[in-house]
Structure 1
Amino acid sequence: MEQGQRAAPAFRRIVTGHNGEGKPVVLSDGLAANHKFPDGDISSTLMWSTDASPTSILGAADEGLRILGTAPPSGGSRFAMMEFQPGNVMHGLHRTDTVDYVICVDGEIDMFLDEVRFVTLRAGDVLIQRGTDHAWVNRSAAPCRLAVVLLDAVPKREGSVSGDISAR
C-alpha cells in the first residue's frame, strides 16, 4: 500500500451456484477484491452485477470482478458495499437513472437532496432512491457502511452519471 492510501474495507463475499450434477455448492468464499476509491474518503466494493432481468443463475463467471462505473449495465443491476469515512466533505450533487435500494448497515450518514434538505440514515434504515439528485456526507465520528443495489431505470436524462467505467 502506498503512503497516504488507506486499506480497502474487508467485506466477506460468498457466492453459491451448482456443480455439474446440479447440486448446490459454494463457488467462492472470501474477501471481495473489486474495490475502487472514487474519492479519498469513500470506497465502493462491487459484490455482483447483472446485465438483464431476469438473469441467469447458471454459469461460472464471477460478476463481482467486472469493471463498472457508478450505474449498472443497461437493463441490469449493480450491488456494492460502500464505506464513507468520518468527516468526508460533500462532493457535488449527482444522480443516476436508477432505482436504488440503500441499506445503512453500520454508522450514520446524511443524504443531501440539494444544498439544504437532507435525510439522516442510521444503521437499519432503508432508503429507496428513485433517480434523485443527491450527495452523501458522513458528519459522524465513525465510518458508515451502506449496502447499495442499483437497478437500471428509465427515463434516461441528460446529465445523469452513467455506467461508463470512467464515471465516478
Structure 2
Amino acid sequence: MSLDTFKVIRRLVTANDSEGLSYVLLDGPSPKIHQRETGPVRGHTDLWVWNETPLPLGGLEDASEFPYDFPGSENGGHLRAVQSRSKPNSYDISKDLAIVPEHPIKVMANGRRWDRGGSSTFVGAMHKTQTIDYAILVEGERVLQLDDREIRWQPGDVVIDLGGWHRWNSPNEDGIVVFDMITAQFIDGPDGLIQGNDKVLVGLPEYPLPFGVEPTRRIVVGDCQPGLSKVISDGFPPEIYLDPARPGYASSKLWVVDSFPAKLVFETIHLPYIMVPPKGGSLCRMLTLPPDKSWQGRITSEDVRNFYKDMNAPFASTYSNGGRHPYMQKTDTIDYCVIIRGEVTLILDKEERKVAAGDVVIIRGANHAWSNNTDAPVVIAIASHDAQPES
C-alpha cells in the first residue's frame, strides 16, 4: 500500500521572549515523521520528547528531535501521533507473510517494553510498556484489543492505558491517535499490576449537560492479574466543570498523575486538580468552548475571578481591563492540546493563530487564551504537565 494517504500533522509550539511575552516558536509539520511501507501503521510522528520531570519550560530547541528508545526516557516521556492502516476487502489472511504467532513474553530493548506476538500486516503485536498513556483518537477508527475483550472507539474518545497488555488494529478505516506516554512505576516488576482499592467513578449518561456539550467517553484499562489486561471502566467522567458566565463551556477531568514515576491505580478523578496538574504530575481533560459571541460583552472581572477560583487555579488568570481576551491565563505547565472538533484561535501576547481539528498545539508556559470565533462549539483534548521555569 502506498503512503499517499499518510497525513502530515500541523504542530504549533509556543515560547516566551526575553520580556516574558508569548509568541509562536514553531508552526508546521514536525521534522520527525517516520513513514512505513508495511505493517499495521502507516507511521508515526514524534511531536515532543522530554527527558526530565518536571518538564523544562525554556529553550528554543525543537524537542521532537531529541532521541529516545521507545517507550521513552525513564525520567520523562514523549508525545507522538500514530496513523493506522485499515484492512482492505481483498486481504487474505492465509497469504499474509507478516504473521507472527503468539509466543512467550519477550523483554524488548530497554527492559521497559514486553511483547507476546500475535501480529499480522494489519494487527499490531500484543505488548505492554512501563508507561501510563493518554491515548486520544483524533480521526477515523481504532479497535483496542485486551485480554478480556475488544473495544471500538471513535474520535474524541480517550483511553487511559495503565501499563496494560494490548494491541491495536483498524479493521474498517484508517485512524490517527495522539499518545502522551508518561513513565510509570511498576512496583511488582514486569507484571505491572494496578495497585490499591480506589473506587472507580463513572458518570451517569443522563447527567444534564449544556447545549452543545457532548459527554467524553473515558476508557481505563490495565492489568489486575499477571498477563491479563481488562477494562477498568468505560463511560463518562463524573466530574464536569462549567462556567456560568459562558453557557456551553465544559471541562471534563479524565485522569490525574500526582507523582513521578506515575502510579498505577484504579482511579484519580477524586484528586483535587481541575485545570492545573500537581507538582511533578499531569492532568488530562476534555474542553468544550462555546462561540465567543454567545457571551462577549457580558463578562466581568468578577466572572473571570470566580471561574478561576472554581477551577482551583486563581493564580492562573492574567485578566486585565482592555486585555486581548478576558480569559487570558498563564501557568508553569506544558500543555499538549489536540483539536478534536471545530476551529479556534490561539491568542498570545504578541500574535494569534487559527488552528483546526487535527492540529496539535504545545503551549509552554505561555500567556494565552482560546477564542472561538465560529458558530459551533470547539472541542480540545488537553494534557497538562507540571513544568519548571528557567532560573
Unpaired runs of 5+ residues, structure 2, are: 1-205, 297-324
Aligned mates of 1:91, 1:45 — CA distance in 2: 21
Kindly indicate whether residue 274 of structure 2 is the aligned counterpart of residue 40 of structure 1.
no
Per-residue deviation at 1:64? 2.7
In structure 1, give the amino acid aligned to 2:346.
M
Kindly indicate whether residue 304 of structure 2 is the aligned counterpart of residue 97 of structure 1.
no
Greater Rg over alpha carbons, structure: 2
Per-residue deviation at 1:22? 4.9
Q: TM-score, normalised by structure 2?
A: 0.36
Quote the residue 2:348 is aligned against. Answer: 113
Per-residue deviation at 1:156? 8.4
Quote the residue 1:68 is aligned against. Answer: 273
* Maintained 8 Å contact 1:91/1:136: no
SS in 1 for 2:388: coil
| Identical columns (%) | 31
1:19 to 195, 200, 224: 224
In structure 1, give the amino acid aligned to 2:360.
V
Kindly indicate whether residue 261 of structure 2 is the aligned counterpart of residue 54 of structure 1.
yes
Aligned mates of 2:341, 2:365 — CA distance in 1: 24
Aligned mates of 1:121, 1:50 — CA distance in 2: 28
Aligned mates of 2:346, 2:239 — CA distance in 1: 25
Aligned mates of 1:142, 1:108 — CA distance in 2: 9
Number of residues of Structure 1 aligned to a counterpart in Structure 2: 151
Aligned mates of 2:339, 2:214 — CA distance in 1: 16
Per-residue deviation at 1:136? 1.2
Aligned mates of 1:13, 1:143 — CA distance in 2: 20
* Maintained 8 Å contact 2:253/2:274: no
Quote the residue 1:160 is aligned against. Answer: none
Q: TM-score, normalised by structure 1?
A: 0.80
SS in 2 for 1:105: strand
* Maintained 8 Å contact 1:33/1:65: no
* Maintained 8 Å contact 1:97/1:156: no
In structure 2, give the amino acid aligned to 1:131.
G
Alignment deviations for residues 2-44 of structure 1 (CA, whole Å, 9 cap, x no partner) = xxx8265311110012224452110101112211114524211
Kindly indicate whether residue 341 of structure 2 is the aligned counterpart of residue 134 of structure 1.
no
Quote the residue 2:210 is aligned against. Answer: 6
Aligned mates of 1:151, 1:97 — CA distance in 2: 9
RMSD after superposition: 2.3
Aligned mates of 2:262, 2:217 — CA distance in 1: 23
Per-residue deviation at 1:92? 3.4
Larger deviation: 22-31 or 99-108?
A: 22-31
* Maintained 8 Å contact 1:103/1:125: yes
Quote the residue 1:166 is aligned against. Answer: none
Runs of 4+ displaced beyond 3 Å: none
Alignment deviations for residues 39-66 of structure 1 (CA, whole Å, 9 cap, x no partner) = 5242110110101232123x32x11343
In structure 2, give the amino acid aligned to 1:84.
L
Quote the residue 1:164 is aligned against. Answer: none
Unpaired runs of 5+ residues, structure 1, are: 158-168
Q: Specify which structure has the bigger relative contact order, considering alpha-carbon pairs within 8 angstroms and separated by 6 or more residues.
A: 1
In structure 2, give the amino acid aligned to 1:77.
S
Quote the residue 1:81 is aligned against. Answer: 286
Quote the residue 2:171 is aligned against. Answer: none
Aligned mates of 2:251, 2:330 — CA distance in 1: 16
* Maintained 8 Å contact 2:338/2:359: yes
